[in-house]
Amino acid sequence: MACVFCAIIERQAPATVEYEDDEVIAFQDIHPVAPVHILIVPRRHIETLNDVTPEDVPALGRCLYVARQLARAKGIDERGYRVVLNVRALAGQSVYHIHFHLLGGRPFRWPPG
């Protein structure tokens, strides 16, 4: 299996899972850039935002809802957090399976670097 996130979804690669349901899985990033750094991933393999179809909309909406719920569970919802989606290499996408980064627990600056 070439996609590491698909391998995590199929339990063929290790991950610290924070949440999962029929559409979405969320797990800790192995290279965190904040005290809270969780990746929220649709189970269906979609390479980038450029590849999203109308059928993918419910799962992506579910990803954002899960981000909100995890932010609350981690105690960062009131202080502030960031949800990031990188698209392609120049934006920082390194795994080509669409995913959202939930980041929190420290101050962030704008614009991001």
* Catalytic positions: 99
**How many CA atoms within 13 Å lie on the side-chain side of 98?**
20
Three-class SS of residue 95?
coil
92: left (phi over 0), alpha (psi -120 to 50) or beta: left
Through-space distance between the first and last CA atoms of the chain, rounded to whole angstroms: 32
Pick left, alpha or beta for residue 9 (phi over 0 → left; psi -120 to 50 → alpha; otherwise beta): alpha
DSSP state of 25: E
CA gap 41, 101 in Å, rounded: 9
